Structure 1
C-alpha cells in the first residue's frame, strides 16, 4: 500500500516517518521523499492513527489524489534542484517531471497552478533561489560555479532571477549574511 506524505523533504524526514510507522506496527517496505510503501494495506482506523502520529512531526498524510500528485511534483522538483547529478540538471524540467510523475506535463502544470496558486516554473525558481542562498551561506563555491551547478545559462541570469525573488543581488545577500555573523572573539 502506498501512502503519500506532505512535507517530507530530507533524509531525516524519511527516518522519522519510518520510525513512526514501525512504532505503530506497520511493516515499511520503502520510504522515499513524499511516498511510503507498506507491506499490508492499512484500515481506515490505522490511517487515522498514522495521520495523527505524522502530524505531530508536521507531516500530512494525503488522501486526495490531486494533492498526492502535486506532492509528487514538488518532491521531484526538490530532488532536481538539490541533486548534484549533471544529467538530471541538464534535462528540461517539463520532460523530467512528466517522466518522474508519469503524467502529461500540460496536465501537471494546469493542476499545479490550480491547487498551489503559482506555476511550476515559479515553484522551481523559488526552490533554486533557496538553493542559491544555501550555497552562498556555505561559501564554498563562486557565483559562477553556483550558476553552472543550478543550470543557469549565465551568472547574469542567476543574479537577475535572484534579485526578482529576494529584492537583492546574490552579492548583496552574501554581504548581508556576513555582516550578521560575529567573529568568535566577539561572542
Structure 2
C-alpha cells in the first residue's frame, strides 16, 4: 500500500517515519520523501491511528490527489536546492512539468491555491535558506555561492537575499543570528 506523508522532507524525516511504522507493526518496503510503500493494506481506522502517531512527530497523512501533488512539488524543489551538489542552472517550470507530467500552469495554479504562495516564491525561499547555510559554513565566497545557486550575479543574489531576510549576505554572515529555518517551516 502506498501512503503519502506531508512534511517528510529530509533524511532524518525518513528515518523517523520508518521507525514509527516499524514500532506500529508495519513493514515499510520503500521510503521516499513524502511517500512510503508498506506491505500491509490499512483500513480507515488503522490509517487514522497512524495519522495520529505521525502528527505527534510533525508529519501528516495526505489523502487527496492535489495535496499529494503539492507535496511532490515541494519535495522536488527541496531535492533540487538542498540535496543536489550541481549548479542550479535549470528552468524550474520545465523541470517540474517534466518530472510530474503536468502542464506547469496547472501545477502553479494548484500550488498557489493550496499553499497561498507561488511555486517561484517557495523556490526562492528554499534557495535563500541554502544560501544562509553556505554563508554559515563559510567555505565558499559569495561569488561562488551565487554561481552554485544559479544566480546571474552577486548583486542579484544580494538583492534577493535582502528582500527575503532584510539583511545583506555580508551582514547576515557577520551576525549569524537569523541563521536558518527548518525546511518544514517554509
Q: Same fold (TM over 0.5)?
A: yes
Please give the residue correspondences for 1:54-69 in structure 2 after superposition, counting only pairs within 5 Å: 54-69=54-69
| Match of residue 174 from structure 1 | 173
Match of residue 31 from structure 2: 31
When Rg is computed on C-alpha atoms for both structures, the one with the higher figure is: 1
CA-atom RMSD in angstroms: 1.6
- The question of whether the paired residues in 2 share the 8 Å contact of 1:84 and 1:149 is answered with no
Does residue 152 of structure 1 match 2:158? no
Q: Which residue of 2 aligns with 1:97?
A: 96
Higher relative contact order (CA 8 A, sep 6+): 2
Where structure 1 has 5 or more consecutive residues not aligned to the other structure, the ranges are 181-187
| Runs of 4+, deviation exceeding 3 Å | none
Calculate the TM-score normalised by the size of structure 1: 0.89
The alpha-carbon deviation at position 173 of structure 1 amounts to: 0.7
In the alignment of these two chains, the number of paired residues is 178
Deviation per CA, 1:150-177, whole angstroms, max 9, x where unpaired? Answer: 1111111111110111111101111112
Q: How does 1:1-187 map to 2 (within 5 A)?
A: 1-86=1-86, 89-177=88-176
| Stretches of structure 2 lacking an aligned partner (at least 5 in a row) | 180-186
1:33-52 deviation digits (Å, cap 9, x = unpaired): 11111123211111111101
Taking the aligned partners of 1:132 and 1:81, their CA distance within structure 2 comes to 10
TM-score, with length taken from structure 2: 0.90
2 CA distance for matches of 1:55 and 1:11? 18
Question: What displacement does 1:85 show?
Answer: 4.1
- Give 1:3 deviation, angstroms: 1.1
Cα shift at 1:101: 2.2
- Matching residue of 1:185: none
